Chain A
Amino acid sequence: MKRRGRGLASMWYPVGFTVAANPSGAVVKVNEDGTAVVLTGTVETGQGALGVLSQIAAEALGIAPNDIHIVSGDTDTCPMDTGAIASRTTYITGNAIAAAAAMARDTLFEVAAGMLGVKASQLEAKDHKIQVKGFPARNVPIADVALRAHIVNGTPPIGSATWNPPTVPLDPETGQGKPFGTYVYATQIAEVDVDDETGEVEVLRVTASHDCGTAINPMLVEGQIEGGVFMGLGFAVQEEILFDKQGKQINCNLTNYIMPTTLDMPAVECDIVDSYDETGPFGAKAVGEPSLVPTAAAICNAIYDAVGVRIMSLPATAEKVLAGIKAKRAAEQKQIPA
């Protein structure tokens, strides 16, 4: 018989480690037609980093994401970057790119100030235009400003910047200090069916609410959450590297290392918490790693809710759950007086 259960788990996760130097550099070059090239030393590892970074650069320059071309992942041409690790790309590389874009934009403002007859400090970049704050009708297209900067003024708009989160090292005795720039938070709730004859756990749906600061691209945030729930599901009920007594892996292939397939994956309901972090680029923090953190606990708590079995070691395989159910039944039998 299938027994339904629900469980929840919350978590916190740090962004932008500060226990060691953690810098990113960025270069933003505005082209003659008002589009831009961004140089970054990070590498696209599938999460959509280059898309997010394009959106950050575009926002800073008042142009559209596909006006940005990103050159990445080359130590000869790109500035130093600590890399696509530790959920740092949006937060740290994003901050560096936002700063570099602002620097290139300042050059555009200098040129446009002359064209519009105002001070550079009165200008803003928006909708492909440089315009006077409060008087958007007084504007020049960014393309015109950029062309003028390049071939008339001789001041090509190029910005470069680095960003490294401010640090307070941890006290070696007590571990007190400020080890991270900021933190993100999340709660996930899982609903499961447990087959009390086989111990099989079927995860039916997972509701995942994540704080990631500003969602630079909500579609990509959802993608990270869905992928995180997938990985958390594997962690919860399927995945485990098995070693023999001599330290050799037993299940070292994708036949025997069990990870979820399409048929195992539950429905995922994503929620992005309304949030803004003033230390992040346009308020953004991170979502890549955190999305998998609470899933296993939520699922195991749901298993307990369904059949009263507390999972103390992962993964909660069907065999383990059934053993728990049988042990519980045996204990209950004992308690009932004859």
Chain B
Amino acid sequence: MIVTLTVNGELRSASVPPETTLLVMLREHLHLTGAKTGCDVGDCGACTVIVDGLAVNACLMLAAQADGRTVTTIEGLATREGLHPLQKVFEETGALQCGFCGPGVIMTSKALLDHTPEPTPQEIRTALTGNLCRCTGYVKMIEGVQEAAAMMRSPQSPALAGQSPALAAPEQK
């Protein structure tokens, strides 16, 4: 069957068997390999993408269910102007280690921040329970989401302009 999605702002179609999951369509038909196959049954969250504004497990959704909808994957987060604040903070603080869970964690966090711009640590923890990580103990991720939230609330956010705050700092002296 033909499935049409708006992926990262672009309209794309693919002809896929009906039992194809959204994850398989993204990874194998559209070559967007950012979302990962970790458990394939919705336990680990490595496949998290945003569909119509909501974080979902792409492994637990048929491509057909996403037909006509808007899908954002990790590849759609950064722009020509720079990294998303979550990406910026995560890379600077070493929030990811092996990184396999990273695309899912970042997409879940983005969906959270889109709805809750000022999350408490408890809200961040609740939002991320569906993203298992075996490396980090989640500590720097939870801190990172808070930091990114603060960055996004500040209109002067240097990360949004693609410039790193620490590199900019010496010039202010």
**Contact surface of A with B, Cβ cutoff 8 Å:** 45-48, 219-220, 222-223, 226-231, 253-255, 259, 261-263, 265, 267-268
Chain A residue at minimal CB-CB distance from B100: A46
Within 8 A of A (CB), among B69-108: 93-94, 97-100
Listed by A's residue number, 18 A-B pairs whose Cβ atoms lie within 8 Å are A45-B98, A46-B135, A219-B94, A226-B136, A227-B136, A230-B134, A230-B137, A230-B138, A231-B134, A253-B39, A253-B43, A254-B44, A259-B132, A261-B132, A262-B128, A262-B138, A262-B142, A267-B139
B137 touches A255 (CB 8 A): no
Among B41, B128, B134, B142, max chain A CB count under 10 A is at B134
A287 to chain B, nearest CB (A): 13
6 smallest beta-carbon distances between A and B, as pairs: A46-B98, A230-B137, A254-B43, A226-B137, A226-B139, A262-B125
CA distance A262 to B100 in the complex (A): 16
Within 8 A of A (CB), among B114-173: 124-126, 128-132, 134-142
Given the interface pairs A254-B43, A263-B126, A263-B129, the reply to whether A48 lies near B94 with Cβ below 8 Å is: yes
CA distance A185 to B137 in the complex (A): 21
- Contact of A268 (CB < 8 Å), options: B39, B41, B135, B137: B137
Residues of A within 8 A of B41 (CB): 253-255
CA distance A226 to B99 in the complex (A): 15
Residues of B within 8 A of A228 (CB): 137
A227 touches B137 (CB 8 A): yes
Chain A residue at minimal CB-CB distance from B136: A227
A85 to chain B, nearest CB (A): 15
Residues of B within 8 A of A46 (CB): 97-100, 135
A259 touches B125 (CB 8 A): no
A296 to chain B, nearest CB (A): 14
Residues of A within 8 A of B142 (CB): 262
- Contact of A254 (CB < 8 Å), options: B39, B135, B137: B39
A254 touches B132 (CB 8 A): yes
Residues of A within 8 A of B141 (CB): 262
Residues of B within 8 A of A262 (CB): 124-126, 128-129, 131, 138, 141-142
A223 touches B138 (CB 8 A): no
B98 touches A255 (CB 8 A): no
Residues of A within 8 A of B132 (CB): 254, 259, 261
A232 to chain B, nearest CB (A): 9
CA distance A46 to B130 in the complex (A): 21
CA distance A261 to B137 in the complex (A): 9
CA distance A269 to B128 in the complex (A): 21
B94 touches A265 (CB 8 A): no
Residues of B within 8 A of A261 (CB): 128-130, 132
B138 touches A219 (CB 8 A): no
Residues of B within 8 A of A222 (CB): 140
Residues of A within 8 A of B139 (CB): 226, 265, 267-268
Residues of B within 8 A of A223 (CB): 94, 97, 135-136, 140
CA distance A267 to B93 in the complex (A): 17
CA distance A219 to B41 in the complex (A): 33
Residues of A within 8 A of B134 (CB): 227, 230-231, 259
Chain B residue at minimal CB-CB distance from A232: B137
Given the interface pairs A259-B134, A263-B125, the reply to whether A48 lies near B43 with Cβ below 8 Å is: no
Among B132, B134, B138, max chain A CB count under 10 A is at B138
Residues of A within 8 A of B135 (CB): 46-47, 223, 227
CA distance A223 to B141 in the complex (A): 10
